[in-house]
Structure 1
Amino acid sequence: MYVDSTEKEIITRYPELDQMTDAPFHLWEDHSKNSSMITLAKGLLSDEQFYIIFLFMIYVSQIINNCAIIANILSIAVFVKLGFSEPSNISLTALAVCDFTLAVLSTWSNLCFWLTYHNFRLPFDSANVSLLTGGIQWAFLSSTIAWITAFISFERCLCILVPLKLRRLITPRGTFVAMLIIILLTFCPSFFAFIRYKFVWVFNPYLNRTILNTTPVNSELAILLDKISLLICGVIQPLMAFSIVLICTMLLVVQLRKISSWRMSVTSAKRQQVQREENPAAGLSAAEARISQKEERLVRMVVAIATIFIVSYIPTCITLLCYVVFDEFNTFGVYRRLFLVSGYIISLGQPISGSTNILIYYKMASKFRSVFRRLLRLDRQ
């Protein structure tokens, strides 16, 4: 994975190849003009360390992606058989579809980077093309998953706080519309990237043929739209969704503890009625106390899903904050290598969350477990 003398000679004669070829050397180099900053960055992550870590991340990421693809296909099939009369089935299906799509996009990016690393002579610039056809969409879809998880957590908070009004507030049609709005506002802006960048055919002397590449559109409108969409959908929205999930999960955990304490203190129907009327020290209202055990199991399942999401999304929040604070922490800055490695660390979190959700469904949802076992013919009956 080092540039030989022939490649160095070609780059010297054709400097434009550093940005337009699919050869691997242009992908890993830093582009800052500040030599002291480059020395510092390379001291943080040497060439050999970078190559080993990056290749290891690609293989690990793909193993997790394969698990996420299989798990979410099974989840979607089970939810389709269960039907969509329950609002929770609609939101969980949307979450599974987004997790599946995210794993597919990540697989495409892994394939392109793997081909770039091994210096395959492809008819397109694998690094740049994969960024425009997979990487950008992956980042925006990650925000979509965050908002769907936030919606599910908020819905369960309403189940705890106003259980008697839940069916009027959250309906199957309303949930379906909410999923469409979330996708429209969080994922669709990713297509602004095709305004900022476009595909072009360029002659590559290194390959001695014309290849497909990307080039930026330097119009003021394109640059403005790209910056706005990246700031809102790539930074602000994910952090807001993460905050909502965190707050709702904390509220759900507190309320579940209150409900468990209240139920343990009730030994008879008469005592239960007395406690509802006298508002016991457990702090639950009569409406809160009437939450069914079925709803409680669903709340516990949502808490488990949200907890895994929070843990897996923390690296994303840290990377987004670093992206905002440090100017050189991006794909063209002096910390390009650290940015790429952190990007692959992020790419591990979401597929892990998406592939483990099916285990939570199977453990905590009896209907899901029953349909899942029939689907795979695990039950003889």
Structure 2
Amino acid sequence: MYLDSTEGDNTSLYPARDQMTDNPFHLGEDHSKDPSMLTLASGILSDEQFDIVILFIIYISQLINNCAIIANSLCIAVFLKLGFSEPSNISLTALAVCDFTLAVLYTWGNLCFLLTYHNVSLPFHGANVTFLTGSAQWVFLSSTVAWITAFISFERCLCILVPLKERRLITPRGTFVSMLIIILLTFCPSFFIYIRYKFVWVFNPYLNVTILNTIPVHSEFAILFEKIYIVICGVIQPLLAFSIVLICTVLLVVQLRRISSWRMSFTPAKRQGVRPEEIPAASSSAAEAKINKKEERLVRMVVTIATIFIMSYIPTCIGLLCDVIFDGLNLFGVYSRLDVVSGYIISLGQPISGSVNILIYYKMASKFRSAFRGLVRLDREEQERHELE
């Protein structure tokens, strides 16, 4: 999302061309390769209208990100209070930390764009530097969130399918190591982008200042490396994680329904004095018989989190596929404006998903609810009110 400027317009969202110093991080206005895009790019949305649309989306996204920052800060505080004796607390804490970081990176990008729009002098090129210090990391951290969600879903699948072995397979130490591996393989590759692009100090004669900017490295190795790692880390990894979450969620939903059906068939038999061992084996599996109420509530909570993640991540997957299929759908192609607007809209799913998780925890996890109420002193206030009455 690196915006260019029309000449003589200093109030546009786009940084002036003289600041770009032949840098490709901007929306080009040359649609000669596809004349039909003249209507889409210039006829439907003028520069002023495009600014209004982007500004509206930025302000809405920032409101959502503020909620995500507050919500995930509270989640982290509650999980720290609960401790990490349970593997699920470790994975959910990692998820909250990633959601919090995503919201902070998104806020950093929005802040730079708004400062640029309001003509605030910055010691760096807002849009371009944001790319290397926020946008690229945001994309890869979204993949980290996807893989952590996949791990949580897979963990609950093991709880349902092999309940007797789950505690030996999923331990606090193993979960902690798994979180580190996921972060290492999904988020850390974002820093490889510095092989393809680098920071430089450039002089701006119009402002008579030297500012920090970015330029691409044009070596064949850097270009090839960028293509390979973007396809692997930016497309294949998140789509694979999404598929795992989807499959595990379906399995959990199916298994929960089988457990509910088994319990419904068991209750009448129990009332009639029939011993559990006399119930036909076909009506229940060993896994169904062993799962308890507490584990079932946790599974339902994970299913809810995964379902919200799936709904919010579907547009991202579609966007990733479109970027690969359509050559012009990128920041430098003939569909640049469409890419920016759709990218902003699609990216709203992540902070929305991160904001509502705290509501799910509070509603479906009794320990989290109790710790949260103690953290914000709701229980103490209620106790004092009852004492006054």
Same fold flag (TM > 0.5): yes
CA distance in 2, matches of 1:255, 1:6: 60
Q: Does the CA contact (< 8 Å) of 2:31 and 2:38 recur in 1?
A: no
CA distance in 2, matches of 1:337, 1:90: 41
Matched, 1:188 2:192: no
Q: Does the CA contact (< 8 Å) of 1:37 and 1:334 recur in 2?
A: no
2:38 counterpart letter in structure 1: T
Shift of 1:35: 5.4
Q: Secondary structure at the match of 1:36?
A: coil
Could you give the per-residue CA deviations for residues 212-245 of structure 1, whole angstroms, max 9, x where no partner exists? 1000111222222222221111111111111111
Q: Does the CA contact (< 8 Å) of 2:144 and 2:187 recur in 1?
A: yes
Shift of 1:42: 1.1
Root-mean-square deviation (CA, aligned residues, Å) is 2.2
Shift of 1:331: 1.0
Q: 1:306-345 counterparts in 2 under 5 A?
A: 306-345=306-345
Alignment correspondent of 1:273: 277
CA distance in 1, matches of 2:248, 2:30: 43
Q: TM-score, normalised by structure 1?
A: 0.91
Alignment correspondent of 2:370: 370
Could you give the per-residue CA deviations for residues 112-155 of structure 1, whole angstroms, max 9, x where no partner exists? 11122233332211010001100000000000000000010011
CA distance in 2, matches of 1:229, 1:5: 39
CA distance in 1, matches of 2:374, 2:321: 46
Q: Secondary structure at the match of 2:29?
A: coil
Taking a change above 3 Å as real, the CA distance of residues 44 and 171 of structure 1, as seen in their structure-2 partners, is: farther
CA distance in 2, matches of 1:184, 1:211: 32
Q: Does the CA contact (< 8 Å) of 1:30 and 1:38 recur in 2?
A: no
2:319 counterpart letter in structure 1: T
Q: 1:132-281 counterparts in 2 under 5 A?
A: 132-267=132-267, 268=270, 270-275=274-279, 278-281=280-283
1:198 counterpart letter in structure 2: K
CA distance in 2, matches of 1:21, 1:223: 18
Shift of 1:271: 4.2
CA distance in 2, matches of 1:21, 1:122: 19
Q: How many pairs align?
A: 367
CA distance in 2, matches of 1:232, 1:40: 35
Structure 2 regions of 5+ residues with no counterpart?
11-15, 384-389
1:210 counterpart letter in structure 2: T
Q: Does the CA contact (< 8 Å) of 1:30 and 1:333 recur in 2?
A: no
Identical residues among aligned pairs (%):
71
CA distance in 1, matches of 2:286, 2:241: 31
Q: Does the CA contact (< 8 Å) of 2:19 and 2:204 recur in 1?
A: no
Alignment correspondent of 1:292: 292
CA distance in 1, matches of 2:146, 2:167: 24
Shift of 1:204: 1.0
Shift of 1:183: 0.5
Structure 1 regions of 5+ residues with no counterpart?
8-14
Shift of 1:209: 1.6
1:359 counterpart letter in structure 2: L
